[in-house]
Chains A and B, each alone.
Chain A
C-alpha cells in the first residue's frame, strides 16, 4: 500500500519504521516558528524546562508581526520578549520591524522553508508552506516551547483528503476563490484533523502565490495541513530566491498512485464562473460575488498572510490604477513583507494605492485579527482579503467581515458596494 505525500514526509522525520493515519509519532522539525502573540507563552514554558540552549539556532524563527509595530505598551513588552530571547540564545532568524514581514509571507520568501521540510509554527496559518511541498502545521505555544528545546514535536499522522481541480480558471478566479469554494463545499470542519492535498491540472498551472493562498486557508476547513506536490513552478520559485540560508532545493515527495485517501473531491473549475466571497460569520458561508452587489462596505483591507503577496498587490493595483476610492470607504493596503513593499514602490503600485486615496502600510497582521491598523466600529462592514470572518474578528462584535480575492476587494473600494471586477474595468 502506498503513501501520501504527507505520510512520506512524516515518515522521513520520525524514527518509526512505518506510519499510518492515527499513529502518534515524535517527529523531528526542520523549522519552528513563533510570533509576538504565541512566542511569549512558549518562552515562559521553555524557561520552565531549564534548558540552556535552543535545539538549533538556525532553525528557530521569531517574527513580531501581529501587534507590531507595537500598538501599545503591553504589545511592546511582548515584542521585547522575542528580541531578548533571540539575543540570549543566539537565535539567527529573529526579524525586527523594518526587516520583517508577515511570517507566512516572509518564511517562503527568505528561503527558510524548502520542499520536503517538516515545519511547525505557533500560528494556525503555518499550513501555508504546504504550497512548497512541505509538511507544515499550526500548533500552540507549549508545542513550540518543546520544539525549541528538543527539535521535536508530537504528531498524530492525519488521514489525507484529495482535492482534484481540473479545467482552465475563469477570469478573476484564482487560488483564493478555489479555496473559498472548497471550504464552502466541505464546511469549516470538513477536513478536521486531516491533510488537504490539492492537485489536478488547474493546480499544476497555478502560480506559487495562489498556491500559498490556498494552503494558507486549509485550517479554515479544519485541516491539519494543506499540501501541493512540488513541480517545475516550485523549483523555479525556490531557485529564484537569493541568499538562501539553507543549502539545496529541498526534497521532492509526491503521493504514490496507490496511496489511501479518506475522501476524494473533484472540482471542474469552469463551473466557478465568478469570484467567490465568504459572508459573515464563517469562511464556509460562500456566495458568488454578483449575488452580493447590494452589500455596502465601510472598509476594504488588501493584505495578510493569505493575500499580501506581490501578485495580490499587482492585481489590486491593476483595478485601482487611475481610479479613486469611494468617499464612504477606507482602503487599507498592506504588503506582506519589506521586499514586497519595496517591489510595490519600485513598480509604481504604492503610488497607485496612495493616489487612489488608500492607506499603504508597513507589513503587519494588524487588521486581520482586529489587532490594530483598521479596527471596525460597531455596525461597520468590511471586505478583506484575509482568512477569517468570525464574529468580532476585525473589531466590534457587531461588525461584519466578507472575505474575497484582491480584485474583488479593490473593485469594492471603488464603488463602495461588493463588486465584480468586470464592473469597474
Chain B
C-alpha cells in the first residue's frame, strides 16, 4: 500500500459512540453507516472524506462498544487506514477481521496534523509525511494477523482454510 492521502485528525479516547452513534445501529446498510461516521465530532465528516484518506488519532481509539458498525462505517466512508497512538482491543480485532488496515504509532499520531499529506508503505514499514518531510517507522503485524489480513479478513481466511 503506497498511496498519497490526506489526514483527518482526532484526539484521545475517540469512542464507538463518536464513530457511529447507537441510534444508527438498527441497520446493516454500509453506506448509511458511513454517512453518519464521526458526526458527533465533525458534522460533515463523511462528505469531507475522499477515497483513500487516512484517519489519525490519539490514544485508545475505538474504546467502548463491540459494534463492528464502527470500523465498517470508517471503511465505508472511504478511509484506507486508521493510524493511532493506541487502539481499544475490540475495535482493533474488528478492524483486522473486516480487513481495515490500522497502524499503532505514537510518533505518527503525534506528528501528523490535520490536512497533512501522507504516504504509507507497509512493506517497508514506513509512513511518509510529505507535508512535513518526515518519516515514521511502523511495526509489522504479527504473522497470525498478517495471515487474516492477507486473505481480506477473517471470513475469507476461514473460507480458504476450509477449501484446503
- Establish whether residues B28 and A192, one from each chain, have CB atoms under 8 Å apart when the complex forms: no
Partner of B28, one of A44, A219, A282, A391: A44
* Bound Cα distance from A55 to B97, whole angstroms: 20
Picked from B22, B68, B88, the residue with its CB within 8 Å of the CB of A371 is: B22
For this complex, into which size category does the number of interface residues on chain A fall? 35 or more
* Binary per-residue interface labels of chain A (379-403) against chain B in the complex, 1 for a CB within 8 Å, 0 otherwise: 0000000001011110001000000
Which one of B66, B98, B158 contacts A138 once the chains associate, using CB atoms below 8 Å? B66
> Are B66 and A38 interface neighbours, CB within 8 A?
yes
Question: Which of A141-149, A291-299, A301-309 is near enough to bind chain B?
Answer: A141-149
Interface residue B116 (Cβ < 8 Å from any Cβ of A): no
Interface pair A143/B17, CB less than 8 Å apart: no
Complex partner residue of B155 from A49, A188, A390, CB under 8 angstroms:
A49
A267 within 8 A of B: no
B67 touching A224, Cβ below 8 Å: no
Q: Is the CB of B40 within 8 A of A397?
A: yes
Inter-subunit contact A189/B66 (CB<8 Å): no
Given contacts A149-B158, A189-B60, contact A37 B86 (CB under 8 A): no
- Which residue on B lies nearest to A369, using beta carbons? B22
Within 8 A of B (CB), among A146-178: 146, 149-150, 154
Instruction: Count CB-based A-B contacts (< 8 Å).
Output: 131
A72→B26 CA distance, assembly (Å):
9
Q: Does chain B have a CB within 8 A of A17?
A: no
Q: Does A411 contact B (CB under 8 A)?
A: no
- Do A388 and B17 have beta carbons less than 8 Å apart? yes
B111 CB-CB contact with A under 8 Å: no
B134 to chain A, nearest CB (A): 26
Are A222 and B89 in touch, CB under 8 angstroms? yes
Chain B, interface size category, equals 35 or more
Asked if A200 is an interface residue, CB under 8 A from chain B, the answer is: no
Contact residues of A between 2 and 54, Cβ < 8 Å to B:
24, 37-38, 40-41, 44-45, 48-50
By a CB distance below 8 angstroms, the chain A residues around B72 are 41
Give the contacting residue for A189; candidates B40, B65, B88, B142; CB below 8 A. Answer: B88
- A393 adjacent to B23 (CB under 8 Å): no
- Asked if A122 CB lies within 8 Å of chain B CBs, one says yes
Check B102 for interface membership: any CB of A closer than 8 A: no
Residues of B within 8 A of A139 (CB): 66, 90, 93-94
Q: What's the Cα separation between A45 and B154 when bound, in Å?
A: 10
Name the contact of B17 in the complex, choosing from A66, A141, A391 (C-beta under 8 A).
A391
Q: List 16 A-B contacts (CB under 8 A).
A: A40-B28, A41-B72, A67-B25, A72-B26, A138-B66, A140-B68, A140-B90, A140-B94, A141-B94, A142-B154, A145-B155, A154-B154, A222-B89, A369-B22, A371-B22, A391-B40
